[in-house]
Structure 1
Amino acid sequence: MPRIIIADDDELVVGIVRAALEARGHIVGELTDGKPVKDVVELKRPDVVILDCSMAEVSGIMALKEIRGSSSAFATPVLMLTGRRSHADEEIAFVAGASDYLRKPFDPDELVARVEALIDKSGETRPAAAPGYRAHRAGDGGLGTYGANGANGANGQASRHAR
């Protein structure tokens, strides 16, 4: 099953993205800030990362630059999902290394198609997630999340939240 990490501080957007991707069998983990993105991507090795441009502390563009500067995460496909509408913002994202760019509001079916195209383009799925990562799977009522340091809880385990 392909693994997707979304970093967006808007719970509504995360819920829409999660529901659309899980309906197609993808596993989805979430971050609410761009600060831990690079570390989580290096550790968990997702098949695709979805970033919002505008987040607290570290923007999606800065998180993207950190991913592209990482020797172990640089090839991870990154879809920018953002409310920024100008062509200049889109160009900035592509120059920073975005694999694709989708503006909000968005059609969930188009998002799924673009994510799956990125997965297909990147080749075979990466090895299984590192121990300790528990992501939400469709129907099990939980959601894999990471806190500011990349994990919730004192034991470093990803937390599970009931719907």
Structure 2
Amino acid sequence: MARIIYAEDDELVGEVVRDTLMDAGHAVGVIGDGVTALQVAKIKNPDLIILDCSMPRMGGVEVLRRIRNHQELFSTPVLMLTGRSSAADEQIAFDAGATEYLKKPFDRDELVFIIENMLDDAERRRGTKKLPMRYV
């Protein structure tokens, strides 16, 4: 079970993502603006963060830039889940430090697949994943 923060100002989309990821076994908190999302992330130090690009008070790309400049959060995987679909928007997100980018509307199974891969990759990078024991 991963602890996930999702910054999204559209309540319906927030509920869909929260319910989808909770059904997959994760704990998800949905926050409606970028400033609060950054504050909560600094306090909670989640396993993964999902950001929408367009949010009140601070957009997702700016939140991402600040996450990447924060000592405890800089290696936290971040998925940009957004309605912005241009190649330029995607490149901006990756340049700011996004781990993955998914466009709305999205497939729920694809969302879970991406999240699981991001979490697995982060665990491997931390070196905490235990290899199965082999008996010779």
TM-score (norm 1): 0.74
Shift of 1:38: 2.4
Q: Which residue of 1 aligns with 2:111?
A: 111
Shift of 1:39: 2.3
Q: How many percent of aligned residue pairs carry the same amino acid?
A: 53
Q: Which residue of 1 aligns with 2:37?
A: 37
CA distance in 2: counterparts of 1:11 and 1:101, whole angstroms:
20
Deviations 1:122-160 (A, max 9, x none): 017x9xxxxxxxxxxxxxxxxxxxxxxxxxxxxxxxxxx
Q: Which residue of 2 aligns with 1:26?
A: 26
- Supply the AA of the counterpart residue of 1:30: V
- Supply the AA of the counterpart residue of 1:54: S
Q: Which residue of 2 aligns with 1:54?
A: 54
CA distance in 2: counterparts of 1:37 and 1:65, whole angstroms:
13
Superposition CA RMSD, Å: 1.3
Q: Which residue of 2 aligns with 1:63?
A: 63
Structure 1 SS opposite 2:17: helix
CA distance in 2: counterparts of 1:38 and 1:14, whole angstroms:
17
Q: Which residue of 2 aligns with 1:75?
A: 75
Q: Larger % of helix: which?
A: 2
Q: Which residue of 1 aligns with 2:130?
A: none
Shift of 1:36: 2.1
Q: How many residues align?
A: 125
Unaligned runs of 5+ in 2: 127-136
Unaligned runs of 5+ in 1: 127-163
Q: Which residue of 2 aligns with 1:99?
A: 99
- Supply the AA of the counterpart residue of 2:93: A
- Higher RCO (CA 8 Å, separation ≥ 6 residues): 1
